[in-house]
Amino acid sequence: ALELGLDRKSTFVALGGGVIGDMVGFASAIYQRGVNFIQIPTTVMAMVDSSVGGKTGVNHPLGKNMIGSFHQPQCVFIDTQTLSTLPDRELQSGISEIVKYGLIRDAPFFSWQESNMSKLLGRDPEATRYAIKRSCENKAEVVQEDEKEAGVRATLNLGHTFGHAIENGSGYGTFLHGEGVSIGMCMAAKMSEKMGWIEGELRERIYGILEEANLPVRLPKDSPMTVETFQRLMSLDKKVADGKLRLILLRGELGNCFFTGDFDVDALQETIEEFVKEISA
């Protein structure tokens, strides 16, 4: 941008997936203290999550998305036809974020997904458009209430504290973001069940819909993750405040969650130990 002599009236365009959107958004946030940018997401993950809400940033060896800024795009253009060439694994990764919206705040949407997952995997145009539209509506409503993640916006990170640790600890690129989040949501569900905050039936539905979407619900046999790795990486999470880990957990009926640092640490430890134990089982 400097070599081309772009001025402060320039507009950056992010055409691509979530990584491209985050990098271009961050560049636009810091170039000459901020220029406009436009998001044109081409993956499900970017369409339903990263392109909406103004979070931008890049990873650091010590943590995911640790260097970044809140910088809202001028607009987001979504053309679902760009998904026609998206690899199946990337499609499934994006679906994990769609599932998340149903879990944290939209029970009818979750039930719709249970009835229409085969259509989403089959790239049915009408089902795909509805899922993306409803996901964006859910995220926009949350961001309007809490743009800078001082409270309710943190609930959009269900499973992400566990998931980010898995992505980092396994080596960036081993897991797609949605795959790490999928396992992370299962860990959050298991921990919530251990504390008696949700019924086992709901945890089973969560596992079931993620498995139907061909997403992982446990760590693979060759995973390098250990209890110590989880603890170390989770302690660096952006939601840690005053040295205390805070998590998004499920409580009550489907569609309810909360952001808290007041949880049973033994339940957290047991959950991590159980998932790590499965690696060598």
Annotated active-site positions, please?
A: 33, 55, 97, 139, 149, 153, 157, 160, 164, 177
User: What distance, in Å, lies between the first and last C-alpha atoms of the chain?
Assistant: 52
- Rounded Cα–Cα distance for residues 277 and 239 (Å): 26
**Closest of 152, 160, 147 to residue 65, by C-alpha:** 160
Question: Are 203 and 119 contacting, i.e. CB atoms less than 8 angstroms apart?
Answer: no
Where b means 16+ CB within 10 Å and e means fewer, 56-80 reads bbebeeebbbeebeebbbeebebeb
